[in-house]
Amino acid sequence: MSMNNFELYKVFYWAAKSGSLTKAAKTLFLTQPSVSHAIKQLEDSFGVALFSRNSKGVSLTPEGATLYSYIEQSHILIGLAEEKMAELKKLESGELRIGGSDSLFKHFLLPYLEAFHDEYPGIKLQLIHGTTPEIITFLKEGRIDLGVVRMPIVDPQLEVRESIQLQDCFVAGSRYAELKGELLSMEQLLEYPIILFSRNSRARKAVTDLFHNYGFNLKPGIEVGSVDLLIELARKGLGISFITREFVSRELEEGSLFEVKLDVKMPPAQVGIMTLRNIPLTRAASEFLGRIG
Amino acid sequence: MSMNNFELYKVFYWAAKSGSLTKAAKTLFLTQPSVSHAIKQLEDSFGVALFSRNSKGVSLTPEGATLYSYIEQSHILIGLAEEKMAELKKLESGELRIGGSDSLFKHFLLPYLEAFHDEYPGIKLQLIHGTTPEIITFLKEGRIDLGVVRMPIVDPQLEVRESIQLQDCFVAGSRYAELKGELLSMEQLLEYPIILFSRNSRARKAVTDLFHNYGFNLKPGIEVGSVDLLIELARKGLGISFITREFVSRELEEGSLFEVKLDVKMPPAQVGIMTLRNIPLTRAASEFLGRIG
DNA sequence: ATTATTCATAGACATGATCTATAGCTCCTG
DNA sequence: CAGGAGCTATAGATCATGTCTATGAATAAT
């Protein structure tokens, strides 16, 4: 397994392709003797003549032609590889795989995704939704480039950047219009039917813990599995929904929902963007990260 | 069209394949820092990370994996090319294309061809028959590696090696038994029916010219197109055949033909082996040439 | 003949690949 | 927890190898 210097094959390729050592030299920004020498090295290493030299240039011997048939392919592949890498660098191709929750995609990431896709239409976007632990697993398995979840994240393998803050709150529809403008205590709130996100949500755990710290037990009248339902049920007056305020900004503005204020301050939730520590980011991923950072 | 140093791709290949710069270094008989540096060069040139470094070695980033898919192919092709060249050098493959006349193949070249094929069964033999001018054309067009014809050949583009001598003579069968042992003059010979090779043969021209120089006109009673027929007709007693003695050595020995001696010495004919001047020979061709030289 | 090509060769030179030495990091082990 | 055994990165010195210049030799065209 000796293996010649691959650089020699580049010289051979151009010499064979152009039928002239002089031309090959020009293409490669070398001098003619360099090319001559390189070819000689190859010929010596194989113990076979590759070219016949004549006064107008060179032409391949049968053995040289055999070699060329392989090297040409090989050379083309390298050319394609270099093109591809340039594309990847210029974000003309590649993919960006992001893990997160559907609601974060919809209410937080969507405008960034649109802008990114407009600017780099060659990058394939892949959105993978799952719970926070699932997202972490996907990251570690290399199935996604970025994970977008609620803080806090504590995992030594992960590098987490804090992004925007989200503020959770309680909202209700016209059915509970009497609460508009009021400042409720936890106790007062608990007299109303509460709608919470289903059990394994981190936001739900956070609010349940908060109530628990104040000595109250927050148990929902209704549990739902999607943010859309959380909104819908509150509007229909089935209860008071606990939800991220930013996800209902439209409804709050148009007045179909209003915030039910508590006298206890709800701690804000950070959105964290996770990447694997010490694993280099894809060009696409690092560009995207720069935009949402 | 920048094109990295191809040697870097060799390093990249082994690093990616083994997942370890240290192992790649061992494979390539380099030190680990060299490999590290080479990879860095590639990464810098692309502006893209190719590996993520961890404590157990390295692993490809998505971009690195993309590059690898091209480079692996390319590397395999070069490996195949080098194997192929080694085969060609060791004469384990390749081909040998010889041009000549059927009778020279059969009576002169055959034993060499047999021996050559026994020793190098991987070499494909191609025998192409034609007249001397055709053979020369084939040579110049690169369709054959060697031409085997009768001398003299005068062509500045050709390099001719003289091989064995052939002696032309007249032979007859038992029908003309009375001539056995006799020494005939041209005049006497011409009283018998003469069998000659067909018009465009060089041997025929030579003997016709010889007779002409002595003031005689040699015109055949029968013309044939093959040496076999020349022999056969002489044996059957249809005339006296002009033929190369070496081609009928078996018949002369077994007595089915005998030589009709002339008092004029027939000039010997050289066999010439032609190659193109200044065009390197195939390994197979030069080996074969060495054996018949 | 003369000129303009081509490639080959020899020897000087300098670039750049490679080396040594060292540091930093992670993981494993006693 | 300390120490060792992996791994890769970095810096700087070194020297080999690729590249150059200068020249020659051959061929073809003018």
pLDDT at B153: 83
Kindly report which listed range (A64-68, A283-287, B48-52, B159-163) carries the lowest average pLDDT score.
B159-163
Query: Closest nucleotide to residue A54 (Cα to C1')?
Result: C6
Q: Is 80 exceeded by the pLDDT of residue A179? A: yes
Residues 6 or more apart whose CB falls under 8 angstroms from that of B11 comprise B24, B28, B30, B34, B35, B38, B39
Q: Report the residue from B62, B70, B80 with minimal CB separation from A78.
A: B70
Q: Say what the pLDDT of residue A148 is.
A: 93
A-chain CB neighbours of B2 within 8 Å are 82
Q: Which tokens sit at A45?
A: 């290493």
Res A233 pLDDT > 70: yes
Span B234-241, average pLDDT: 93
What pLDDT score does B2 carry? 65
Highest CATH level, class, for B168-267: alpha beta
What does pLDDT average to over chain A? 91
Tell if the CB–CB gap between B7 and A9 is shorter than 8 Å: no
pLDDT tops 80 at residue A13: yes
Q: Is A2's pLDDT higher than 70?
A: no
Q: Which CATH number fits domain B95-165+271-292: 3.40.190.10, 3.30.390.10, 1.10.3210.10, 3.80.30.20?
A: 3.40.190.10
Please tell me the distance from the alpha carbon of residue A82 to that of residue B30, in angstroms, as a whole number.
25
Which sequence spans correspond to the domains of chain B? Answer: 6-89, 95-165+271-292, 168-267
Confidence band, pLDDT 50/70/90 cuts, at residue A206: confident
Whether residue A212 is predicted with pLDDT greater than 80 in this model: the reply is: yes
Q: What is the pLDDT of residues B31-43, one digit of tens each?
A: 999 999 999 999 9
Distance CA B117, CA B109 (A): 12
Domains B95-165+271-292 and B168-267 share a fold: yes
Residue A252: is its pLDDT beyond 90?
A: yes
Q: Is the pLDDT of residue A128 over 90?
A: yes
Residue A199: HSE in the Cβ half-sphere, 13 Å Cα cutoff: 0
Contact B70 A47 (CB under 8 A): no
- According to CATH, the topology of domain A6-88 is Arc Repressor Mutant, subunit A (1.10.10)
Contacts of A144 in chain B (CB under 8 A): none
Neighbours of A49 (CB within 10 A): 20
A95-157+278-292: CATH topology: D-Maltodextrin-Binding Protein; domain 2 (3.40.190)
Confidence label for A204 from pLDDT (cuts 50, 70 and 90): confident
Q: Do β-strands B240-244 and B168-172 pair in parallel, antiparallel, or remain unpaired?
A: antiparallel
Report yes or no: A266 and A189 within 8 Å, Cβ to Cβ: no
> What pLDDT, on the 0 to 100 scale, is given for residue B1?
61
B152 vs A26, more confident = A26
Averaged pLDDT, B192-218: 88
Q: Measured between alpha carbons, how far is A148 from A127 in angstroms, rounded to an integer?
A: 10
Judged against a pLDDT cut of 90, whether residue A159 lies above it is answered with no
pLDDT (average), residues B136-159: 87
pLDDT at A130 over 70: yes
Q: Do A283 and B82 touch (CB under 8 A)?
A: no
B280 closest CB neighbour out of A2, A10, A61: A61
pLDDT over threshold 70, residue B104:
yes
pLDDT at residue B201 in the model: 79
Q: Helices B6-18 and B62-89 sit at what angle, rounded to 10 degrees?
A: 110
CATH of domain B6-89: 1.10.10.10
Q: How far apart are CA A236 and CA A258, in angstroms?
A: 13
pLDDT above 90 covers a percentage of chain B that reads: 66
Judged by average pLDDT, the poorest of A16-25, A92-101, A263-272, B82-91 is A263-272
Q: What's the pLDDT tens digit per position in B127-145?
A: 999 888 889 989 888 899 9
- Closest Cα in chain B to A8: B6
Buried-exposed string B5-42: b where 16+ CB fall within 10 A, e elsewhere: bbbbbbbbbbbbebebbebbbebbebeeeebbebbeeb
3-state helix, strand, coil in chain B (%, to 5): 50, 25, 30
Minimum-distance CB partner of B7 among A6, A48, A54: A6
Q: Mean of the pLDDT values across residues B157-170?
A: 88
Pick from B48, B81, B86: CB nearest A88: B48
Angstrom distance, A63 CA to C2 C1': 38
Please, which pLDDT band fits residue A184 given cuts at 50, 70 and 90?
very high
Contact call for A71 and B86, based on CB within 8 A: no
Phi-psi label, residue A218: left if phi above 0, alpha if psi -120 to 50, beta otherwise: beta
Q: Tell me: the pLDDT tens digits for A55-107?
A: 888 999 999 999 999 999 999 999 999 999 999 999 999 999 999 988 889 88
Residue nearest to nucleotide D26 (CA to C1'): A55
Place of tokens 């392989």: A70
Asked whether the predicted pLDDT for residue A1 surpasses 70, the reply is no
pLDDT score for B72: 93
Q: How confident is the model at residue A14 (pLDDT cuts 50, 70, 90)?
A: very high
Three state DSSP letters for A89-124: HCCCCCEEEEEECHHHHHHHHHHHHHHHHHHCCCCE
Range B80-85 average pLDDT: 94
Task: Strand D: list protein residues with Cβ under 7 Å.
Answer: A 5, 7, 25, 29-31, 33-34, 37-38, 41, 54-56; B 20-23, 32-33, 36-37, 39-40, 51, 53, 55-58, 278
- pLDDT range class, residue A3, cuts 50, 70, 90: confident
Distance, CA of A54 to C1' of D23, in Å: 20
| Range with the largest mean pLDDT of A188-192, B105-109, B275-279 | A188-192
> Is the pLDDT at B6 greater than 70, yes or no?
yes
Does B62 contact A at CB distance below 8 Å?
A: yes
Q: Tell which residue, A206, A212, A210, has the closest CA to residue A269.
A: A206
* Cα distances (Å, whole numbers) of residue A183 to A212, A262, A265, B152: 20, 5, 11, 120
B161: exposed, middle or buried (Cβ count in 10 Å: 0-12, 13-18, 19+)? middle
pLDDT at site B131: 86
Measured to protein CB atoms, the chain C nucleotides within 7 Å are 5-11, 17-22, 25-27
Residue appearing with tokens 């059957």: B236
Q: Which residues pair with B273 in a beta bridge?
A: B148, B161
At B198 the pLDDT is 83
